[in-house]
Amino acid sequence: MPTIFTRIIDGEIPSRMIWEDDRCVAFLDVRPLANGHCLVVPRAEVDHWTDLEPELAAHLMTVGQAIGRAQRTVFRPARIGLLVAGFEVPHVHLHVIPAQSMADFDFAEAETSPDAAVLDANLESLRQALADAGHAAVSSR
């Protein structure tokens, strides 16, 4: 059975997609810890990040960095955090999170009902920042 992330990648479940290339996608988290919280997900269903092919792991990190730079431009946080936990979905995903402090990484504090208008505005701002930085993989869906 495909993971929820594969179903998102395949367009079966709606998302706010920011990035799409032949190896991975990135989209806004539906339970964000902060404005602009994104997930970077390989197209291949790999459960543990330690099982990723090194080239794919490097690519995910490169995409995460690009998104983190866009988040810095848009949200001006103190830091951009990167988490690879893997408990929520058995499909590797990097959490790229604008943060003001370590307290911003508490998943118990995730927004369970984020405002759709805020998510849409964050999506468009991040897409624009990525496009302005010259990235061709900015999603249009």
| Active site (catalytic) residues | 93
Q: How many residues are present in the chain?
A: 141
Residue 63 phi/psi, 5-degree rounding, is: -65, -40
- 3-state SS, the chain, equals CCCHHHHHHCCCCCCCEEEECCCEEEEECCCCCCCCCEEEEECCCCCCHHHCCHHHHHHHHHHHHHHHHHHHHHHCCCEEEEECCCCCCCCCCEEEEEECCHHHHCHHHCCCCCCHHHHHHHHHHHHHHHHHCCCCCECCC
